């Protein structure tokens, strides 16, 4: 089949690349010329500057010019295309509603071209973007407005997680296709023939509105589950004596009905979608006059979690950030990506700067260019001049008064020794990801350890078997600290 993928970001590029592996003729179209030029080189470095996903550059290089083509001119491919996928960004607006302007620009442009198309064969327009319930119907009305003939609309939400985009596209848990007519459902069955009747992958056909709702329900349920662990599990282990976070997790998730995914407590779930999608669902339900108490609570817990450790450092460790230098380890919203959208690190930096830190010494194995270019540009906020970037975690912590671990990069699990050889106690280690399995060595040596999901630990507390909040809470070490993510 001939396919056009509109929008070549984290969803569109992997989707186009993996479809091309199945022998479809795939044209990946984007309005961003520099991005398309980078993809056209087929070079890993150029591709990864935009979408850094394991294995993706190889799939692009293998199929480039054979089954996979990149273009900034959709006009030249409209004539005999069977299926168009919308993989366009749908960011949140201030009031939580979804900004559909990018999506609608593309929809109107395409409608204009399709209205002039000579080829009478049917065209199916498929939303992979996460869009408010009713958007497929809106797309249909745009097509009718332009007089486009023989067109069907469908919703086929994307469920991949970043860092696993290629595998997530090749072997998703499920494929959800919402369409109105048997003809359109059949076109998508042909397109996705590798998934239909698959023994493990569920192929669900439904209405466009149900498919759209499934996407919002899925993301908000996942965030609700993470927030349950952050808002209840972590709080218990921080506040009550002698509770081991990791044992709590094992004990609760040993029930086959309860997943371990999401039980990794953290400094808040980031990424481009959880926050925006829950806000959008709140907005959509409010507009329908329905209660959103649960969703609002979940959103609030997650936002609070992003700077909670800094508040704890001030109140429990009595640490003053004013004029201090803080090493920030991890900028990406999770490991194995350079994406910083809604990353906890953004809120951490905001909070540290508001508390008057003199300098932030940042390190991230993948996201430093992204941080410099798109998030902490000193031209936009002169306070960002206080952020410097370093090639290693050790270099970042050199000369600092405290450190904050924000991302669950594997390499941070070995930091204990680096801390001991680089900075002197009493030095505050804020661990937003529970990354230090041997933190007791630090505590024994006089460092102050403040993890999410655990009490403040310092040498003196340990001697007294008390936490430093003075409420007589016994600070027992959590021996089995495992990695988040
Ligand atoms: P992205 O910002 O990485 O990519 C969007 C691309 O669309 C950009 O390259 C942009 O230039 C392009 N674009 C914008 N307007 C255009 C237009 N008029 N014509 C052509 N191209 C245009 O976004 P993303 O992360 O890939 O997300 C895309 C959608 O998929 C969103 O709705 C998101 O909620 C959803 N989603 C994302 C993920 C994820 O992991 N990132 C997972 C599931 C669903
Ligand atoms: C998430 C969903 O997992 C995907 O199914 C969905 O398609 C996607 O959003 C989307 O719609 O964009 P993603 O944002 O890539 O995927 O990343 P996740 O792996 O879900 O992690 C999100 C955040 O939650 C990260 O900050 C991660 O560190 C955090 N997290 C995850 C936890 O804090 N604890 C956990 O146990 C798991």
Report pLDDT digits (tens) over 309-352.
999 999 999 999 999 999 999 999 999 888 999 999 999 999 99
Q: How many helices (H) and strands (E) would you count in the chain?
A: 19, 14
pLDDT of residue 129: 98
Q: For residue 91, what is the DSSP state?
A: P
Residues noted as catalytic: 273
Is there an atom of ligand 1 within 6 Å of 10 CB?
yes
CA of 271 to the centre of ligand 2 (A): 7
Tell me the CA end-to-end span of the chain in Å, nearest whole number: 37
Is there an atom of ligand 2 within 6 Å of 160 CB?
yes
β strands within 44-119, DSSP E: 68-71, 83-86
Measured from the CA of 130, which atom of ligand 1 is nearest?
A: 32
Angle at 223 between CA 219 and CA 227, to 5 degrees: 170
Residue 163: nearest ligand to its CA?
A: 2
pLDDT of residue 482: 36
Residue 157: nearest ligand to its CA?
A: 1
Is there an atom of ligand 2 within 6 Å of 261 CB?
yes
For ligand 2, atom 18, name the residue with the nearest CA: 161
Measured from the CA of 161, which atom of ligand 1 is nearest?
A: 40
Compute φ and ψ for 457, nearest 5 degrees: -125, 130
pLDDT tens-digit profile, the chain (485 residues): 999 999 999 999 999 999 999 999 999 999 999 999 999 999 999 999 999 999 999 999 999 999 999 999 999 999 999 999 999 999 999 999 999 999 999 999 999 999 999 999 999 999 999 999 999 999 999 999 999 999 999 999 999 999 999 999 999 999 999 999 999 999 999 999 999 999 999 999 999 999 999 999 999 999 999 999 999 999 999 999 999 999 999 999 999 999 999 999 999 999 999 999 999 999 999 999 999 999 999 999 999 999 999 999 999 999 999 999 999 999 999 998 889 999 999 999 999 999 999 999 999 999 999 999 999 999 999 999 999 999 999 999 999 999 999 999 999 999 999 999 999 999 999 999 999 999 999 999 999 999 999 999 997 655 444 443 333 333 333 333 333 33
For ligand 1, atom 4, name the residue with the nearest CA: 9
Torsion of CA 428, 430, 434, 435, to 10 degrees: -70
pLDDT of residue 423: 98
pLDDT of residue 441: 95
Alpha-carbon gap, residue 342 to 405, rounded angstroms:
16
Please state whether beta strands 325-329 and 359-363 pair in parallel, antiparallel, or not at all (unpaired): parallel
- By most ligand atoms within 8 Å of CB, the mutation choice from 4, 5, 6, 12 for ligand 1 is 12
CA of 433 to the centre of ligand 2 (A): 14
Task: Characterise 429 by phi-psi region: left (phi > 0), alpha (psi -120 to 50), beta (else).
Answer: beta
Alpha-carbon gap, residue 178 to 226, rounded angstroms:
28
For ligand 2, atom 6, name the residue with the nearest CA: 159
Measured from the CA of 8, which atom of ligand 1 is nearest?
A: 9
pLDDT of residue 102: 98
- Which residues, other chains included, contact 477 with Cβ-Cβ below 8 Å and sequence gap of 6+? 439, 440, 443, 457, 462
């Amino acid at each position: 089949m001939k396919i056009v993928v509109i929008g070549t970001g984290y969803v569109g590029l992997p989707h186009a690349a993996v479809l091309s592996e199945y022998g479809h003729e795939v044209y990946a179209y984007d309005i961003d010329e520099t991005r398309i030029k980078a993809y056209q080189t087929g070079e890993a470095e150029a591709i990864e500057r935009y979408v850094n996903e394991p294995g993706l550059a190889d799939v692009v290089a293998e199929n480039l010019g054979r089954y996979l083509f990149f273009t900034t001119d959709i006009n030249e491919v409209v004539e005999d295309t069977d299926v168009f996928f919308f993989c366009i960004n749908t960011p949140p607006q201030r009031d939580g509603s979804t900004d559909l302007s990018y999506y609608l620009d593309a929809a109107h442009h395409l409608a204009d071209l399709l209205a002039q198309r000579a080829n009478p064969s049917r065209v199916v327009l498929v939303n992979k973007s996460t869009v408010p319930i009713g958007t497929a119907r809106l797309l249909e009305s745009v097509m009718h407005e332009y007089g486009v003939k023989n067109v069907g609309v469908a919703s086929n939400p994307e469920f991949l997680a970043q860092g696993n985009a290629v595998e997530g596209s090749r072997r998703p848990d499920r494929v959800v296709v919402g369409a109105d007519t048997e003809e359109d459902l059949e076109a998508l069955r042909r397109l996705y023939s590798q998934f239909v009747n698959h023994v493990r992958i569920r192929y669900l056909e439904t209405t466009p509105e149900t498919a759209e709702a499934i996407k919002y329900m899925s993301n908000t349920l996942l965030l609700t589950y993470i927030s349950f662990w952050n808002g209840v599990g972590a709080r218990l282990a921080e506040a009550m004596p002698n509770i081991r976070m990791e044992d709590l997790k094992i004990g609760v998730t040993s029930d086959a009905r309860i997943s371990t995914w999401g039980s990794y407590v953290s400094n808040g779930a980031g990424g481009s979608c959880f926050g925006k999608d829950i806000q959008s669902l709140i907005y959509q339900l409010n507009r329908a006059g329905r209660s959103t108490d649960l969703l609002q609570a979940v959103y609030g817990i997650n936002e609070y979690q992003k700077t909670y450790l800094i508040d704890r450092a001030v109140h429990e460790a009595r640490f003053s950030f004013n004029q201090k230098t803080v090493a920030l380890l991890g900028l990406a919203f999770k490991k194995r990506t350079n994406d910083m959208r809604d990353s906890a690190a953004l809120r951490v930096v905001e909070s540290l700067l508001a508390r008057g830190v003199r300098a932030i010494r940042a390190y991230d194995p993948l996201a430093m260019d992204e941080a410099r270019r798109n998030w902490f540009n000193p031209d936009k906020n002169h306070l960002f001049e206080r952020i410097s970037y370093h090639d290693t975690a050790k270099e970042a912590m050199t000369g600092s008064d405290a450190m904050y671990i924000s991302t669950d990069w594997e390499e941070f699990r070995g930091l204990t020794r680096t801390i001991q050889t680089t900075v002197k106690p009493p030095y505050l280690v804020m661990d937003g990801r529970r990354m230090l399995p041997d933190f007791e060595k630090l505590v024994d040596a006089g460092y102050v350890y403040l993890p999410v999901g655990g009490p403040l630990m310092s040498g003196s507390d340990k001697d007294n078997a008390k936490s430093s909040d003075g409420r007589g809470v016994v600070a027992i070490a959590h021996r089995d600290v495992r990695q988040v993510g």
